[in-house]
Structure 1
Amino acid sequence: MNKNEEKLPIELLDKIQSAGAGYDLLRYVSLPDVFGSEADALLYFMGKSLARKFNIQSLGDISYFFEKVGWGRLELFKEKNNKLEFHLLADTVVQRLAMPVETEFRLEAGFLAEAISSLKRVDCECVEEIRKKIHQVEFTVFYID
């Protein structure tokens, strides 16, 4: 997408249908096999790129995106001066954490960093912590000065 092109409307997600198994195979099996140790960084920047393509106007749009693409239910947990903390919950998160292959949430982290950056008009980075015992992923978005 060129910089001169319009962003995609968030409503486009209502028209996309997928069961997700093929996506999971590509993400968790093929991509790491092809890119090795660079796969996590690639996924993070793919997430950032994806966020730039959509017209996101609010935190609600970000949560809507997460649910529509099957990433789970994203909730803002805490807001501080220089960071936001989110929790990602849902049956899909439980299922992903139970998969017999290593899973990650770098794509989601990259998307969240860029989406918040766009909303707050400040550079952001995001880290995630997987909490398997409680079937939750915690994202922390830091504002970069």
Structure 2
Amino acid sequence: MTSLHNKTIPAFGYELLRDYILPSILGKHEKDVLYWAGKDLARKFPCTDIQLLIAFFQDTGWGLLSLEKEEKDGYLFHLSNDADLLKVNDRSFRLEAGFIAEQIQTMQGCLTECFDEKLEKQQKIVFTVKWDHKEKIV
């Protein structure tokens, strides 16, 4: 069950929307639209640091996000979630990738992209975040 402002909604309802209705409506544009929707969502729910970003994922039921590696121009995050949700073959994690990209872009102050990769055997998603310090965001 998921809680939204003290209202509980079944996870099954979320899964129906996420895994069946959205792909049906968005068709071949699903991944692009979800990425930009994630970026827009991040602007509405800003996280000022990595710990708040991790907490947001947990609060929304998106899964357990962990920062695995820091580099001079990027981060590597792992997302673990309910094993059944990760087994949904066609589930896109572009919404989460867009959300992460926008949050990190705001934190770093420069152009940032995030790429997602599903590792089914390990039951996790890897998000690779890269930014370019030469491309400042004003």
Indicate whether the TM-score tops 0.5: yes
Runs of 4+ residues over 6 Å off in structure 1: none
Are positions 1:86 and 2:77 aligned together? yes
Structure 2 gaps, min length 5: none
Q: Which residue of 1 aligns with 2:37?
A: 46
Task: Map residues 99-118 of structure 1 onto 2, 5 A cutoff.
Answer: 99=88, 102-118=90-106
Letter of the structure 1 residue corresponding to residue 127 of structure 2: F
Structure 1 gaps, min length 5: 1-12
**TM-score of the pair, normalised by structure 2:** 0.86
Q: Which residue of 2 aligns with 1:97?
A: 86
CA distance in 2, matches of 1:16, 1:60: 25
Q: Which residue of 1 aligns with 2:68?
A: 77
Which one has the bigger helix percentage?
1
SS at match of 1:123: strand
Asked if the contact 2:46–2:103 (Cα under 8 Å) also holds between the matched residues in 1, the reply is: no
Identity of aligned residues (%): 37
**TM-score of the pair, normalised by structure 1:** 0.82
Change (3 A) 1:119 1:137: same
**CA RMSD in angstroms, aligned pairs only:** 1.7
Task: Map residues 26-41 of structure 1 onto 2, 5 A cutoff.
Answer: 26-41=17-32
